[in-house]
Amino acid sequence: MIRVADIRMLLVAVTLFGGAWPITKSALADATPLWFAVSRTLLGALVVGLVLAMKGKLRLPRRRDLPAVLGVGLLQLGCYFALTHLAVALVPAGRTAVLANVTIYWLVPLSVLVLGEKVSGTRWLAALLGLAGVVALAGPWAVGPGETSTLSGHLMLLAASFLWSWAIIITRRFPAERSMLENLPWCFLLSGVVLVPMALIREPLGQGMNGIGLGALWQVLVIGCLVAPLGTWAVIEAGRRLPGAVSSVGFLLAPAIGVVVSTLWLGEPLGWDVLIGGALIGASVIVATRG
């Protein structure tokens, strides 16, 4: 049985993450990709840590929490943010929102093979509709002749979604003893173990102080203080609570939101692929929640 509260959590997650990529794209005019990712994770750790400390709930993870903390910290935050932030410098924000969230490519079969979940025919249909929407939004026609950087960006985003899918599988297979909100500061700090060395090696000079210029400060605050803590918690909880077929299809709402925001704000073109892809993704979410 799918609860309304879990669907509400999913909607919060996709709204925040769908809008995050256009904001991130705009920030890269005054920030380098990896240092922006570092600011996102460290600010997220600070905000959640302060909230938990004020509630008297800031504690080290327990032993049973470690698989989920490692999976989320290293895969969903560290490696995922590294790949997606590098890719958004190469790919339009709307397309980044699409491919960064296509966990459905991987999560439905992984749920069957690893978790032994039973996926109904209706939810397989929802998955196919969602995949068709993704293909419409980011098919081969999105890569022009000789655009190797765009192709590289697409491959990085597909790899990122694969790692996110495994993080979801880990949190479902080895559920944490404490809530993921209580473990989130440690997940963010663990992701910094991945991101900071990468930023020091790949972006040693950066722009401004530590790769963040003054023009990108408002984006840093919005992403680091709101999207990172609240959005990441909502994504983890939605992926943990909802069946794999439902959560993976539901996450495809984020690309639709990202494309719309990118079109209205950044002026990215709105073509037939966006309209058809958005309609297919919307249909897939409706079918998944009813199946």
SS3 labels along 105-138: HHHHHHHHHCCCCCCCHHHHHHHHHHHHHHHHHH
Question: How confident is the prediction for the chain on average, in pLDDT?
Answer: 82
pLDDT in tens, 53-66: 999 999 999 999 99
pLDDT for res 208? 46
Task: Quote the strand ranges of 82-229, DSSP E.
Answer: none
> How far, in Å, CA of 226 to CA of 66, rounded?
25
Judge whether residue 19 has pLDDT over 60: yes
> How far, in Å, CA of 106 to CA of 100, rounded?
12
pLDDT for res 145? 55
Percent of the chain with pLDDT over 70: 87
Residue 14 in tokens:
């996709």
Output helix, strand, coil percentages for the chain, rounded to the nearest 5.
80, 0, 20
pLDDT for res 110? 81
Chain centre distance of CA 199:
20
CB atoms within 10 A of CB 291: 19
pLDDT for res 119? 73
Residue 138: pLDDT band (50, 70, 90) is low
| Mean pLDDT in residue range 11-28 | 86
> How far, in Å, CA of 225 to CA of 55, rounded?
18
Q: Kindly report the backbone phi and psi dihedral angles of residue 31, in degrees, each rounded to the nearest multiple of 5, phi listed first.
A: -150, 155
pLDDT in tens, 150-181: 778 878 888 898 898 899 889 888 988 998 88
| Structure-model confidence comparison of residues 21 and 138, the more confident one | 21
